[in-house]
């Protein structure tokens, strides 16, 4: 114990050999760099004297960030974006989806999504494909939308040749065995059952609002396979569709994190002069229909009381989605509509940062903050190459459906009113921020490159889009909103619809200056 006390005393007093060495070596070095040393008069905004000037990495021009595009002899486009790193994302995007199924059985694109990366001419099973990708640290995915089908792989850049060869085989040489098709039927049935049981109604409402807005044409066709078509889709039906839409002139091979010349060479090796599994005959029944906006209403009466059971069950809600036609992503008004959608914003009343916690979008300030019984109010913008749809989704107790619909129609009418400069600048900043943050991820860059080149044969870079966003003026918002309000509405409703206003009343409310529904009188309630 005495030894411990002696050591502590020496440390505190600085006496003995320890104290002498501390004074000899520690003190000068400490004084030289401390705030009380030789540089007390140098402000923090100025460099320290005697310190070498730092050399920062610079980018000599924009050419290193340009998307390079090459078109092969068969019409296939090869697009690449340079991004440094060990891994790359490569995939094939095809101008194919549910909107092209008018002359085919509805649900084929949904089937092809589930069949992706199954057995091919070179690979006997999906497991063999996954094992091949694992050698390069790779993962794969396939997604279909209404107008695009995307096969993608992320893997080590050194395995680019293997990845492109695998993608070509998956897209052009699938075996589509009876066993695989039967397993896909089971997967589709399960997905449809799961869709009807989910507490979140947004995927189902999105299907319904498209069906109402584009009645039986193009993007209004079912994206998911109808139950009655599951047993009808077989290999011959799939080959008939693939023969028309899986052609080189409708494809883009996109890559991020790869050299352009190397990607073009791989495309020539695996995608040029290749005979697909369904034959090389010319496409005979390609649907070139332009989307026809019709407006209308689609309803689904359903008991939502037991959608989420448990100790704290989810309340019974009625869900409404109202939409109006906007514009395609090829038009100049696309960005004003994108800013308008961001300005409306919204979300769930119990989401993180909900009402009263700093949210400044209109649907938070004017709807969720003022009406405590509203569970959700969210704006969505769906855009395609020939049309677009701006929607507001709202959820509330079935007894307050009429009031909820009137609140939403009022918000639509206010879109064409005065636009505050501060809220507009906030929406533009938020849109640019979301754009730039999303484009930090390699898979997002890949999808952006592929979709833009597929639609326009070129790509607008992020700084170009930010410049266009900054140029949006309040009068642009008012102009596009006024034009949108002259259209017939599309309405989708799910749940207890006993108090749902008539479609004609919703249409009349959107035509009124105050957005109010026509008054109705009941003798008995």
| Complete DSSP assignment for 403-465 | HHHHHHHHHHHHTTS---HHHHHHHHHHHHHHHHHHTTSHHHHHHHHHHHHHHHSS---HHHH
Mean pLDDT value of segment 357-382: 89
Q: What is the pLDDT of residue 481?
A: 97
- Residue 275: the pLDDT is 93
C-alpha span between 38 and 228 (Å, rounded): 84
Rounded mean pLDDT, 280-291: 84
Does residue 61 surpass a pLDDT of 60?
Answer: no
Model confidence at 22: pLDDT above 70: no
State residue 37's pLDDT score.
Answer: 53
Distances (CA, A) of 451 to 113, 141, 267, 385, 403: 17, 16, 18, 11, 40
Distances (CA, A) of 434 to 254, 451, 466: 23, 18, 11
Residues 394/377, Cβ–Cβ less than 8 Å = yes
33-47, 199-213, 306-320: the lowest-pLDDT one? 33-47
pLDDT at 521: 66
> Can you tell me the distance from the alpha carbon of 152 to that of 139, in angstroms, rounded to the nearest whole number?
8
Is 515 in contact with 406 (CB distance < 8 Å)? yes
pLDDT at 56: 76
Is the pLDDT assigned to residue 489 strictly greater than 80? yes
Position 308 scores a pLDDT of 67
pLDDT exceeds cutoff 50 at 64: yes
Structural domains of the chain, ranges and CATH numbers in brackets: 68-271 (3.30.830.10), 296-511 (3.30.830.10)
Return d(Cα 183, Cα 194) in angstroms, integer: 17
3-state secondary structure of 323: strand
Please report which confidence band the pLDDT of residue 459 belongs to, taking 50, 70 and 90 as the band edges. very high
pLDDT digits (tens, 9 = 90+) for 373-429: 999 999 999 999 999 999 999 999 999 999 999 999 999 999 999 999 999 999 999
Per the listing, tokens 């290749």 go with 274
Residues 286-312 have pLDDT tens digits of 899 999 999 999 999 988 877 766 676
Q: What is the pTM of this model?
A: 0.85
Please name the residues in contact with 375: beta carbons below 8 A apart, sequence gap of 6 or more.
Answer: 315, 317, 348, 349, 350, 395, 396
């Amino acid at each position: 114990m005495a030894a411990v006390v002696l050591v502590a005393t020496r440390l505190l007093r600085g006496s003995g050999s320890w104290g002498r060495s501390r004074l000899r070596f520690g003190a000068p070095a400490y004084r030289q760099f401390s705030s009380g040393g030789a540089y007390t008069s140098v402000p923090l905004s100025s460099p320290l004297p005697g310190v070498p000037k730092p050399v920062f990495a610079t980018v000599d021009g924009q050419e290193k960030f340009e998307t390079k595009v090459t078109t092969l002899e068969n019409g296939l486009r090869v697009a690449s974006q340079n991004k440094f790193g060990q891994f790359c994302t490569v995939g094939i995007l095809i101008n194919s989806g549910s909107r092209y199924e008018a002359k085919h059985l509805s649900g084929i694109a949904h089937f092809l999504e589930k069949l992706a990366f199954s057995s091919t001419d070179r690979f006997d099973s999906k497991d063999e494909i996954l094992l091949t990708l694992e050698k390069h640290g790779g993962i794969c995915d396939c997604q279909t939308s209404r107008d695009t089908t995307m096969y993608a792989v992320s893997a080590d850049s050194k395995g680019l040749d293997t990845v492109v060869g695998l993608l070509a085989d998956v897209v052009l040489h699938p075996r589509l065995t009876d066993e695989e098709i039967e397993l896909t039927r089971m997967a589709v049935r399960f997905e449809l059952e799961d869709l009807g049981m989910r507490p979140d109604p947004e995927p189902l409402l999105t299907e319904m609002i498209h069906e109402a807005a584009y009645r039986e044409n193009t993007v209004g066709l079912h994206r998911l396979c109808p139950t009655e078509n599951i047993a009808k889709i077989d290999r011959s039906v799939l080959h008939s569709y693939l023969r028309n839409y899986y052609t080189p002139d409708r494809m883009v091979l996109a890559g991020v994190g790869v050299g352009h010349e190397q990607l073009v060479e791989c495309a020539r090796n695996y995608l040029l002069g290749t005979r697909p599994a369904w034959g090389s005959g010319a496409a005979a029944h390609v649907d070139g229909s332009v989307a026809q906006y019709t407006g209308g209403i689609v309803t689904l009466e359903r008991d939502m009381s037991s959608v989420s059971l448990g100790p704290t069950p989810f309340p019974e809600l009625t869900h409404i989605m109202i939409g109006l036609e906007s514009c395609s992503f090829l038009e100049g008004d696309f960005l004003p509509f994108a800013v308008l959608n961001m300005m409306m914003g919204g979300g769930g009343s119990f989401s993180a940062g909900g009402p009263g916690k700093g949210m400044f979008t209109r649907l938070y300030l004017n709807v969720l903050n003022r009406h405590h019984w509203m569970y959700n109010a969210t704006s969505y913008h769906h855009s395609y190459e020939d049309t677009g749809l701006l929607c507001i989704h709202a959820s509330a107790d079935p007894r307050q459906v009429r009031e909820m619909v009137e609140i939403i129609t009022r918000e639509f009418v206010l879109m064409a009113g005065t636009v505050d400069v501060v809220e507009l600048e906030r929406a533009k900043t938020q849109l640019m921020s979301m754009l730039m943050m999303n484009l930090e991820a390699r898979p997002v860059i890949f999808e952006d490159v592929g979709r833009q080149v597929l639609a326009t044969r070129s790509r607008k870079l992020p700084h170009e889009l930010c410049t266009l966003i900054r140029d949006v003026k309040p009068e642009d918002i008012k102009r596009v909103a006024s034009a949108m309000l002259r259209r017939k509405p599309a309405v989708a409703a799910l749940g207890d619809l006993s108090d749902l206003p008539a479609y004609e009343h919703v249409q009349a409310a959107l035509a009124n200056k105050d957005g109010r529904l026509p008054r109705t009188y009941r003798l008995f309630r």
